[in-house]
DNA sequence: TGTATTTTTCTTGTCGACAAGGCTCTCACG
DNA sequence: CGTGAGAGCCTTGTCGACAAGAAAAATACA
């Protein structure tokens, strides 16, 4: 368990240690390399990264603020569990934010936004083509984050970002379910969304965003009910 | 400027220092006792609270996570400015969350929720009666937070909570504008919202939440344009 | 007198060490 | 054999001190 990777004792710049630890732990949690519920030891991390416990601690405080870890006072800190019980609430919020951000993008986007979005859409298509699940997750999130950014509402964008991060562990399971038949359909739906945004067709953007989101939700629900035989409400 | 309040050197319990500093600084920022843009000195805070810089630092990291302070690397950390430029984006999100949370409360509330909501509504009415602006802010936020909680969607509730916190500095100006004619109308609107929630009338709850929010937004906008036209810097 | 450079100072970032709280294992006792 | 108190261990929380960056001040020079 005590894999000693990343243990380079090179000179770091002054404020970079915290960010490095934060980013790395975040990725390891979201990629399920650190399984939910497993404990996180500060001194072990300090030894692994060759630094004191202080910057490790700051990174952990940040992660706790993101809800990715939970810290039991005076006891231990462990990776947050995936909240399967309130999944319907998550999906409800996700669908709404897909709708709202796409709708606002149709209203407020610029040509630069469209360039960026198209580039990310190409990356997503390439990841689908290459059957690269992790790449699909990243590029899909990037695509929709760019759309949210084009909507020019920082509050929606950050909330949406948080939802995408929260759901990344779910989405990872989700995309793994496509090992056989890959969702080339989503590439087409993305293209339709781009077209609606470019045409500034707010109603169509709203509708397409809703359809796109609901299809993903339905697919994940199908996956979940297959894995655990409990009834999930929507 | 260096008021030395709260400097009690009593024995504290082990993990309580961070929370105390966090809560107190948060309140001071949101109540505009710490004006936006003003610097925050760690050693000064450490001396004021009679503790080391370490717990102070953790509280500051948390506050930075909430977006209430901004930390310039290797330089200083200062109270975040109020984002007047993107106010319309804030209001857009606020109205939507008023609608969504009220709607969901109509769907999913229990009788216990209603009891809690009514109690908070009474407190709000009392604060309005007493012309207590700070009390009105707190009890109004509590009222709508309780409604959000009754909606049984943690993601909406936490986002809404964040919006209310973010806007508390604005709302403080807003409620101060009611020094003459107090918004007893809002008490009635709250009562209507409660009735719609209790009757599980989703459409009415949605509509009332929207009206309620838009009226507040309109009032704040009127206030802002009044400040803007008189060239009052904040 | 104006500008470039150096020095000083001030704040933050990091470290190693120590103390406190909780868990576990052991052991006495019913 | 079961139960509860106590000792030891293990992790976190806090501290004081030092180092690094950057702004401000002081100095040298044209």
Q: Are B127 and B139 in contact (CB under 8 A)?
A: yes
Domains B16-79 and B87-229 fall in the same CATH topology:
no
Instruction: Give B99-128 pLDDT, tens digit per residue.
Output: 999 999 999 999 999 999 999 999 999 988
Query: Does the pLDDT at position B186 exceed 70?
Result: yes
A151-165, A218-232, B131-145, B188-202 — which is least confidently predicted? A218-232
Query: Does the pLDDT at position A100 exceed 60?
Result: yes
Inter-chain residue contact B57 with A62, CB threshold 8 Å:
no
Topology, domain B16-79: Arc Repressor Mutant, subunit A (1.10.10)
Q: CATH assignment of B87-229, given 3.40.190.10, 1.10.3720.10, 3.40.50.920, 1.20.120.530?
A: 1.20.120.530
| Gap from A76 CA to C27 C1', Å | 28
State the Cα–Cα distance between residues B125 and B122, nearest whole angstrom: 5
* pLDDT bracket for residue B181 (50, 70, 90): low
pLDDT at A15: 82
Query: Does the pLDDT at position A41 exceed 90?
Result: yes
pLDDT at A137: 84
Query: Does the pLDDT at position A1 exceed 50?
Result: no
State the Cα–Cα distance between residues A154 and A151, nearest whole angstrom: 8
Interface list for B 9-48 with A (CB within 8 A): 14-15
Inter-chain residue contact B155 with A65, CB threshold 8 Å:
no
Which nt sits closest to A72, CA to C1'? D12
Q: Does B62 touch chain A (CB under 8 A)?
A: yes
pLDDT at A6: 40
Query: Does the pLDDT at position B176 exceed 70?
Result: no
Instruction: Give A42-80 pLDDT, tens digit per residue.
Output: 999 999 999 999 999 999 999 999 999 999 999 999 999
**How are strands ordered across the β-sheet holding B77-79?**
B39-40, B77-79, B69-71
- Report which residue is nearest nucleotide D12 when distances run from CA to C1': A74
Domain range summary for chain A, segments of one domain joined by + = 16-79, 87-227
A206-210, B150-154, B209-213, B214-218 — which is least confidently predicted? B214-218
Instruction: Give B12-67 pLDDT, tens digit per residue.
Output: 788 899 999 999 999 999 988 999 999 999 999 999 999 999 999 999 999 999 99
pLDDT at A47: 95
pLDDT at A232: 37
State the Cα–Cα distance between residues A171 and A94, nearest whole angstrom: 12
Which DSSP helix (H) or strand (E) runs through B40? strand B39-40
B158 min Cα distance to partner chain A (Å) = 10
Chain D positions within 7 A of any protein Cβ atom are: 11-17, 20-23
Q: Are B69 and B26 in contact (CB under 8 A)?
A: no
| Gap from A38 CA to C30 C1', Å | 40
State the Cα–Cα distance between residues B94 and B217, nearest whole angstrom: 9
ipTM value of the model?
0.88
Topology, domain A87-227: 1.20.120
Match 């360039």 to its residue by tokens: A115
pLDDT at A7: 39
pLDDT at A129: 87
A/B interface, count of CB pairs below 8 Å: 64
Query: Does the pLDDT at position B226 exceed 80?
Result: no
- Report which residue is nearest nucleotide C22 when distances run from CA to C1': A75
């Amino acid at each position: 368990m005590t894999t000693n990777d990343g243990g380079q004792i090179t000179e770091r710049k002054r404020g970079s240690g915290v960010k490095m630890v934060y980013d790395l732990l975040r990725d390891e949690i979201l990629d399920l390399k650190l399984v939910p519920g497993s404990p996180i030891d500060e001194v072990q991390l300090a030894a692994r990264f060759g630094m004191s416990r202080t910057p490790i601690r700051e990174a952990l405080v940040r992660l706790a603020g993101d809800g990715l870890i939970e810290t039991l006072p005076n006891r231990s800190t462990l990776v947050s569990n995936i909240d399967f019980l309130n999944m319907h609430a998550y999906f409800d919020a996700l669908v709404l934010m897909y709708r709202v951000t796409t709708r606002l993008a149709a209203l407020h986007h610029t040509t630069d936004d469209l360039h960026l979005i198209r580039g990310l859409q190409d990356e997503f298509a390439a990841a689908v083509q290459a059957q690269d699940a992790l790449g699909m997750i990243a590029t899909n999130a990037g695509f929709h984050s760019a759309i949210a950014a084009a909507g020019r509402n920082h509050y929606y964008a950050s909330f949406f970002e948080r939802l995408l991060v929260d759901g990344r562990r779910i989405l990872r399971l989700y995309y793994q379910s496509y090992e056989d038949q890959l969702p080339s359909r989503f590439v087409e739906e993305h293209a339709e969304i781009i077209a609606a945004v470019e045409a500034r067709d707010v109603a169509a953007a709203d509708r397409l965003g809703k359809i796109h989101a609901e299809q993903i939700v339905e697919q994940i629900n199908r996956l979940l009910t297959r894995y655990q035989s409990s009834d999930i409400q929507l």
